[in-house]
Chain A
Amino acid sequence: MNKPSHVEPSTTPMTRFVDQQQDSHSLKNYQHHGGYLGLKNALSLSAQEVLQQVKDSGLRGRGGAGFPTGLKWSFMPQGEDTPTPKYLIVNADEMEPGAFKDRYLLEKTPHQIIEGLLIAAKAVNADIGYIFIRGDYYLAIERLNQALQECQENNLVGTNILGQNFDFQIHLHTSAGRYICGEETALINSLEGKRATPRAKPPFPQVSGLWGKPTIVNNVETYCNLPHILLFGVDWYRSLGRCKDVGTKLFGVSGRVNNPGLWELPMGTPIGEIIYDHAQGMQDGYQLKGFLPGGGSTDFLLPEHLDTPMDYDEIGKIRSRMGTGTITVLDDKFCPVKMVLNLVAFFAQESCGWCTPCRDGLPWAVSLLEKIERGEGTESDIEQLIDITRFAAPGNTFCALAPGAVEPLQSALKFFLHDFTEHIERKCCPYQHQASAKPPAQAKQAGDDHG
């Protein structure tokens, strides 16, 4: 396949064509940087070959769980007797506290998502695609609509795409706004017009998903990896990682650091490098007390873990999760009880109300944390909190929301227990008696800092 000479493999494939020009999201700009060449390659291959490339690339889902993408796709039944239509869904319902990576891709590179979606459609013989986007992402919605319009005009969606006898429809659906819609089966229910309640698995969506038909749901960032794998090849993609995991990933840092933001970095970049090199370390007068490595539903880690590479398995070994890869920093001037309370209250608020541990367990935890934060806590409250974290453990609940919600809580109880007991002993929040802290600097978006 021909490609313009200026389109060269990059170490930041997903963000390489983003610049500060107003129209960096346009089809023209995207195509100038090699956009839709990956799709052309894919359309010249058989579905099986595209799927094999994605499998061989070692790409893992970027939504948080890190499930191998090619393997997930291979569960979709194929062949003449299998149900149709087959659906592909882009999960763009980013609502995890501390996560803002999908928003960046949605606003800056809408065509990259559409191209990824088309490549995936080719690989799994899908007929219809839905982009399920958080309703608050106004700019992203506007740009996606514009991009879809451009695709429509340039025969990049619809029937006989690029004259390659390939049909695929894409619909944009704006979510009414619930965190649970990020759970793929709740998303599907919501898309069907039902309550956004997760579905029991098995059957998995690949077998019985949207409208009961085979369906694959992937995260925005996962789709964004695909054009580059198809354009520059599997070997190039595998060479991008710095450890077992391959490719690049958007990593972000928020909290009281000098340069909060978002960067595309190789998988396996050590956490310390992200916080200290890219985010330029803690603001003056603040010490790093701990951090959530991948959003509000991941376990706290400590400064001693800074050498750990951002890699699904490595972070798993130290009992947290890489999640979305957007790090939230806790400093020594901010009350960990208050931070955990804020997080658990968010998840309690966002519970769909389907299963007991989540619906009734999380508000119970919130009431205990509020009590401790008010200085009215007792030793028994901590025991109850520990009970609740065990109660809402993975496998005990209907979906992953409640287990995620208690992850920061259980690790805070492990690492910052003395803060909890101090609240109880001093009958107040010790942090409120220190000099009022400086508010964290506004998080800047990536691209502002690198070319």
Chain B
Amino acid sequence: MAELITITVDGIDYQVSGKKNLLETCLELGLDLSYFCWHPSLGSVGSCRQCAVMVYQDSDDQRGRLTMACMTPVSPNMLLSLGAKQAKDFRATNIEALMTNHPHDCPVCEEGGDCHLQDMTLMSEHIIRRFEGDKRTHNNQYLGPLVNHEMNRCIGCYRCVRFYRDYCNDDDLNVFGSKNQVYFGRAKPGVLESDFSGNLCEVCPTGVFTDKTFSENYCRKWDLQSSPTICQHCSLGCNTYTGSYNKTVRKISNRHNKQINGHFLCDKGRYSYQYANSERRTATPLLRNKNTIQSQALEAADAQATLHQWLTNSKGSIAALGSSRSSIENNVALSLLIEQYGGQFYSDCSENQLSLAQQQITFYQQQRVAPCTLAETETETADCTLIIGEDVVNSAPRLALCLRQMVRNQGLDDALAIGIAPWQDQAVRNLTQQLTSPLFIVSATPSTLCDVATYAQPLLLDEQQQLLTQIKDCLSNKGADNSDSALAQQIATALRQAKRPLLVYGNSSGDLTIQALIQDIYGLLSPSKRLLYYVLPNANSQALAIISPPNHSLDALITRLNEQPPTLLIILESDLDWLLSPSNADRVHQQTFDAIEHVVVIDHLMTATAKMADLLLPSASAVEQQGCWLNSQGLLQLSQANMSPSEDRKAAWQWCQDAAPTQQAKVHAKEQYQDLLSWCGERFELLSPIVECQAQQQCEFKLARQSFRASGRTAINAKLDVKEYPPASDELSHLKFSMEGVAPFRQINTDIKTASGAYIWLPKWNSGQAINKGESQQCGTKVSCAIFPGPVLVTPPSHSVQPQNQPSADFTLVSQYRLYDNNELSQYCPSLEQLMSTGSLSLNQHSADRLQWQPGHVCSLSVDQQTITLACHINPDCPDNSLLVDGQSLRALASTGNQLSLAISQISMHAAKETSS
């Protein structure tokens, strides 16, 4: 425990750490001090001058000195005043000055009620506007489908450009002009290029940047029904708040978790919520007559009875497909159900991916290692990173953002050595300039992280194997003299010298040899320092790898369906059309399904597979049910239901539980749920913390999902029905679907601080900035359970792997992962349509010369009678003799659809060319 120092604020003594600046210290003490330009992750720059306080030299000093708290370190026995008249007057005048140009458009501003500027204006007690001159006006820009721009509201705090340029290193948003005409926007209107643009809406203290999807479907913050949720769009498990109104999801906002997402989300996570409002949602159970191909709606009870009957009839000949985009409860319930009826459970991963994931889990268990935590904790403290084979920019964007902060550590250390604290953002950046901690990227696809990388030359799989072997040899002092491996030497030396070396790899390397080599390299690093992060493809891929028996992959299921069709096939929240290549999916839907007596699909979306189901059971989406998610770092996290499922929808686990023979008697959802979790804990030892994970989110009193200011609750349905219905109940959660209940921040008066509140709100702090106040940080402190035991100082034994000298192919197809294209749920989001990429094929000049292809040629690639046609582009960053094809186009060629296509397929190509007209 670090030593505390005493400071005196307005006559009251406080014990503080002294490591943070004075503003952050005051806020954490729960004091109300206004600010704009400071941000906990962006540090201090002192531009807005809003956090002025009086600092006194000693108790005899009566005059004091007006000081900007954000730019001032805390020193022992510091004497200061927030309430002194001079400081209060200054803060009020400062607001008055920056409000001279701010429009009085709060009633029509999306930020209204969720606005830091409103809060700070009230807090500063600036009431009467004295300025009578003209306000400056600006033209707004079109910034794409996600972010709105309303520059007249700008108060010039510079947070947007500091986040966008300094933190994310994107450069298409900038500040232009000077004096009171400073303009924050793009050189030309156009779609923001950053994958983190949505954070501008939270970073902006007022309504310059607002969430466009929210504006199009708007309601006031105080009318939102909120709940703490887990993002389902990649394996990182970022923490979010989902906000809904009248049964539609309106908005996703960041929920601070210093171990994962910190203060920021990626755009995929923030904007892919629209699937939950999709017109393509399933609503009622449907029974399809195989002969007439007509579907008829069923009562829920009849559907339940049909399922039960089919299960009983098919005993012993049942197959089930789990889903990595569904909660653990849903998968476990399905697994339990078919176990009781003698069936087999399969994962939705390809054979290759499943074995990689399971091998990695075995590695964690046997070697007692745990993946590292993200944002403000381990990843960002690393000082040397090696990324192998994983395109984290697209497959785990928030991790890529962490790595952008990681490279700053060398500079932060240098700054600290001459007395510049890390929060002095501008000073640190000025001192360090382009200096970075080493980051090496070994991957077949060009990475946009290359701007901060020490080395980022794309390498094909066999070259990667060779390099990793050389690094391994260097680290184990073998082959140290090998003159061919200057790069390997460089990487090995950097890893060895680092205080916190980090290895990042993932499921998409697609190669067991590579994975074994990385694990060996990890074993050769100092046990007390080393860190690793393993990225998986989907939100619950890790859990599904635990639940699925070995070799029970999607490939195995398809083989089984073709060779030995079961009587009953149950598919949980999976679209074969997405998982398989279109032609394979068609074959399964049209032919294979015919040979299976009963195909049951449980899904919340009307997917191609759902349309072919003999019995379709509509399930609750992830925002309509409580569920556990296991992220790639092995943290179990509970996502709370945001709304009750409407119509005949039920959580998938509930459909399964209701059909299970042993559960027939249980009528209470809570009992069913807890039985399920207990069974899960007993059956899958690794998942046993799930019981604790759920229990720690229990609370003796109920918390409200709606703010107590929610208006018009009883009027929402008045046009249909004047009766007032009670709010839906939620037996499983400590949260209520209403505004009755304890406000989240009131928890601080109790001993129960672990349960997550439904939203962030504090008196006087209506905007999300309330998170920076001390009280907020005390709530929901325990939000996850780690399933891997964590580092124990055991060095894993080395694998004796040798690179396989595969015959080098003429051309290698390399799949390019894309942010939105490779996320199934994003396909159901209208706002993201425009951001999906079109098919692309690129190759370097040398390869193009070999093929005699020119840019703009329309090229056909054929594999096993499947052909794709794409226009060809030259990209100098492509590895030699490789064709870089976007993952979506490649699906048509690969046997198991998108997931396999992430791997590099070494296929000799027949290439034909046509000249585009």
Taking Cβ atoms with an 8 Å cutoff, the residues of A that contact B are 178, 195, 199-200, 202-203, 207-208, 211-212, 348-357, 359-364, 367, 371, 380, 384, 387-388, 390-391, 395-398
**A-B contact number at CB 8 A:** 112
Q: A360-B98, A398-B49 are in contact. Are A354 and B179 (CB under 8 A)?
A: no
- Which of A208, A356, A380 is in CB contact (< 8 Å) with B48? A356
Q: Is A353 in contact with B177, judged by CB distance below 8 angstroms?
A: yes
**What are 18 A-B interface contacts by the 8 Å CB criterion?**
A199-B427, A200-B426, A203-B431, A208-B431, A212-B431, A351-B179, A352-B178, A353-B180, A353-B181, A354-B47, A356-B50, A359-B179, A360-B156, A362-B179, A363-B100, A367-B134, A387-B93, A398-B46
Return chain A residues, CB-CB under 8 Å to B133.
363-364, 367, 371
Given A203-B431, A212-B432 in contact, is the A363-B94 Cβ separation under 8 Å? no
Which of B94, B130, B134 sits near A391, CB closer than 8 Å? B94
Question: What string of 1s and 0s marks CB contacts (under 8 Å) between B36-51 and chain A?
Answer: 0000000001111110
Q: How far is the CA of A353 from the CA of B37 in the complex (A)?
A: 13
Min CB distance, A371 to chain B, in Å? 8
Contact status A391-B93, CB under 8 Å: yes
A203-B71 Cα distance, complex, nearest whole Å: 12
**Which 3 residue pairs are nearest across A and B when measured between Cβ atoms?**
A367-B133, A353-B182, A360-B97
Contacts of B90 in A (CB 8 A): 391, 396
Q: How many chain B residues touch the partner (CB < 8 A)?
A: 43
Q: Is the CB of A356 within 8 A of B420?
A: no
A355 pairs with B47, CB closer than 8 A: yes
A202, B641: Cα distance in complex, Å: 50
Does B131 have its Cβ within 8 Å of any Cβ on chain A? yes
Beta-carbon contacts under 8 Å, B385-434 to A? 418-420, 424, 426-427, 430-433
Tell which of A349, A353, A364 touches B97, judged by Cβ atoms closer than 8 Å.
A364
**Does A212 contact B433, Cβ atoms closer than 8 Å?**
yes
Interface mask (B59-73 → A, CB under 8 Å = 1, otherwise 0): 000000111000100
Q: Which residues of B contact A371 (CB under 8 A)?
A: 132-133
Check if B688 is an interface residue, CB within 8 A of chain A: no
User: A351 to chain B: which residues have CB within 8 Å?
Assistant: 178-180
Instruction: Give the docked Cα–Cα distance between A15 and B93 (Å).
Output: 48
A200-B71, A367-B131, A395-B66 known; A208-B420 Cβ under 8 A: yes
Contact status A355-B49, CB under 8 Å: yes
A202 to B158, CA, bound (A): 20
Residue of B nearest to A383 (CB): B130
Binding site for A on B (CB under 8 A): 45-50, 52, 65-67, 71, 90, 93-94, 97-98, 100-101, 130-134, 155-156, 158, 175, 177-182, 418-420, 424, 426-427, 430-433
Instruction: Give complex CA distance A62, B343 in Å.
Output: 90
B94 touching A359 by the CB < 8 A rule?
Answer: no
State how many angstroms separate the Cβ of A394 from the closest Cβ of chain B: 10
A381 to chain B, nearest CB (A): 9
**Residue pair A361, B97 in contact (C-beta under 8 Å):** yes
A203 and B418 contacting across the interface, CB-CB below 8 Å? yes
Task: Give the most central of A178, A352, A360: most B CB within 10 Å.
Answer: A360
B426 to chain A, nearest CB (A): 6
Contact in complex: A359, B182 (CB < 8 Å): yes
A396 to B54: give the CA distance in the assembly, Å.
11
Q: How far is the CA of A202 from the CA of B65 in the complex (A)?
A: 17
Query: Per a CB cutoff under 8 Å, which of B52, B175, B179, B180 touches A195?
Result: B175
Closest to B158 in A: A354
Measured CB to CB, the closest approach of chain B to A384, in angstroms, equals 6
Compute how far the CA of A398 lies from the CA of B430 in the bound complex, rounded to whole angstroms: 16
- Min Cβ gap A362→B in Å is 8
Instruction: From the candidates B48, B155, B180, B427, name the one contacting A203 in the complex (CB within 8 A).
Output: B427
Closest B residue to A352 by beta carbon equals B178
CA distance A390 to B96 in the complex (A): 14
Given known pairs A208-B430, A356-B98, A380-B130, the reply for A396 and B66 (CB within 8 Å) is yes
A360-B180 CB under 8 A given contacts A355-B46, A395-B66:
yes
Additional pairs, 5, CB under 8 Å, beyond known A202-B420, A360-B100: A208-B430, A354-B47, A356-B94, A395-B65, A395-B67
A398's nearest neighbour on chain B, judged by CB, is B46
**Complex contact A350–B179 (CB within 8 A):** yes
Q: Max chain B CB contacts within 10 Å: which of A195, A199, A200?
A: A200
Alpha-carbon distance A349/B178, docked complex (angstroms): 8
Report which of B45, B71, B97, B432 forms a contact with A356, defined as CB distance below 8 A. B97
- Does A203 lie within 8 Å of B420, measured CB to CB? yes
How far does the Cβ of B546 sit from chain A's closest Cβ, in whole Å? 49
Q: How far is the CA of A301 from the CA of B155 in the complex (A)?
A: 36
> Cβ of B424 and Cβ of A200 under 8 Å apart?
yes
Across the interface, which residues of A come within 8 angstroms of B420, CB to CB?
202-203, 208
The residue in chain B whose Cβ has the minimal distance to the Cβ of A207 is B418
Q: Which of A348, A349, A362, A363 has the most CB of B within 10 A?
A: A363
Q: Which of chain B's residues have a CB closer than 8 A to the CB of A211?
A: 433
On chain B, the residues within 8 Å of A357 by CB distance are: 49, 94, 97
Q: A208-B431, A395-B65 are in contact. Are A355 and B93 (CB under 8 A)?
A: no
| A387: B residues at CB distance < 8 A | 93
Q: In the complex, what's the smallest C-beta–C-beta distance from A8 to chain B, in angstroms?
A: 46
A348 to chain B, nearest CB (A): 6
Contacts of A391 in B (CB 8 A): 90, 93-94, 97
**Is the beta-carbon distance between A208 and B427 smaller than 8 angstroms?**
yes
- B93 contact set on A, CB distance < 8 A: 387-388, 390-391
Q: Which residues in A have their C-beta under 8 angstroms from that of B132?
A: 367, 371
Report which residue of A178, A351, A391 has the largest number of chain B beta carbons within 10 angstroms of its beta carbon.
A391
Known: A360-B101, A391-B90. A396 touches B430 (CB 8 A): no
Neighbouring B residues of A360 by C-beta, 8 Å? 97-98, 100-101, 156, 180
A356 near B156 with CB under 8 A, answer yes
Which partner residue on chain A sits nearest B433 by CB separation?
A: A212
Inter-chain CA distance A362–B158, complex, in Å, is: 19
Distance in Å from the Cβ of B480 to the closest Cβ of chain A?
30
Q: How far is the CA of A404 from the CA of B90 in the complex (A)?
A: 18
How long is the Cα–Cα vector from A352 to B158 in the complex, in angstroms?
12
Q: Smallest CB–CB gap between A436 and chain B, Å?
A: 29
Give the chain B neighbours of A390 by CB distance below 8 A. Answer: 93
Q: Of residues B48, B66, B155, B179, which shows the largest number of chain A Cβ atoms within 10 Å of its Cβ?
A: B179
Kindly list chain B residues whose C-beta atoms are within 8 Å of the C-beta of A178.
178
Report B-chain residues with C-beta under 8 Å of the C-beta of A397. 49
A380 contacts across to B, CB distance below 8 A: 130
B52 with A363: CB separation less than 8 A: no
A353 partner, pick from B46, B179, B433, beta carbons under 8 A: B179
Min CB–CB distance B312 → chain A (angstroms) = 73
Compute how far the CA of A236 lies from the CA of B900 in the bound complex, rounded to whole angstroms. 85
- In this complex, the member of B93, B132, B420, B432 whose beta carbon has the largest number of chain A beta carbons within 10 angstroms is B93
Chain A residues whose C-beta falls within 8 Å of the C-beta of B100 in the assembled complex:
360, 363-364
CB distance from A221 to the nearest CB of B (A): 27
| A396→B178 contact, CB < 8 A | no
A199: which of B48, B67, B156, B426 is its contact (CB, 8 Å)? B426
Residues of B within 8 A of A202 (CB): 419-420, 427
Known contacts A199-B426, A208-B418, A353-B156; A348 and B431 CB within 8 A of each other = no
Q: Chain A residues near B431 (CB, 8 Å)?
A: 203, 208, 212
Question: Smallest CB–CB gap between B720 and chain A, Å?
Answer: 50
| Bound form: Cα–Cα A208–B418 in Å | 9
Q: Knowing A203-B431, A356-B94 are in contact, say whether A398-B426 is a contact too (CB < 8 A).
A: no
- Which residue among A178, A354, A356, A360 has the maximum number of chain B CB atoms within 10 Å of its CB? A356
**Smallest beta-carbon distance A354→chain B, Å:** 5
**Given the complex, which residues of A lie within 8 Å of B158, measured CB to CB?**
354
Minimum Cβ distance to chain A for residue B88 (Å):
13
Partner of A349, one of B65, B134, B179: B179
Complex: how many Å from CA A384 to CA B130?
8
Q: How far is the CA of A100 from the CA of B94 in the complex (A)?
A: 35
Instruction: For the complex, give the distance between the alpha carbons of A380 and B46 in Å.
Output: 31
In angstroms, how far is the closest chain B Cβ from the Cβ of A374? 12
CB distance from B64 to the nearest CB of A (A): 11
Q: How far is the CB of A177 from chain B (nearest CB, A)?
A: 11
